[in-house]
Structure 1
Amino acid sequence: MIAIYNLIHQCKGILEEKYNPDGYNIGINVNENAGQTIMHLHVHLIPRYKGDVENPRVVSEI
């Protein structure tokens, strides 16, 4: 788990340097009903920008 945490921070650093996002969504889908179609672990690191969606608190399909 610590390796995943460290990798997320490393990737955030790269994204911040190159794209300067205003925030991030970080997610993991667990089980088919949550959108996982292949049973393995991967982490979604999505850079976000002010105004890129109407309401970032509402879950929507990407």
Structure 2
Amino acid sequence: MTLRIVKDEKAYPSKGIVSFTSVIGVALLGLRCGDVAHIKTFKGEFDWQIFTVSHNEKKTII
């Protein structure tokens, strides 16, 4: 899965574009390759391992 983390007004979760203030965005910010994020959402609990991180003004891929 590829996610892009953006400002609130640019978020479009169904397309993998999440806000940095969302539950998922907050959990992923600051993580590095190999880290595991434990995320609790209204749909359940998930563990996501980070494989790549790209910092780019057009997209951040996690």
Using the size of structure 2 for normalisation, the TM-score is 0.24
Higher helix share: 1
If asked which structure has higher relative contact order (CA below 8 Å, sep 6+), I would say: 1
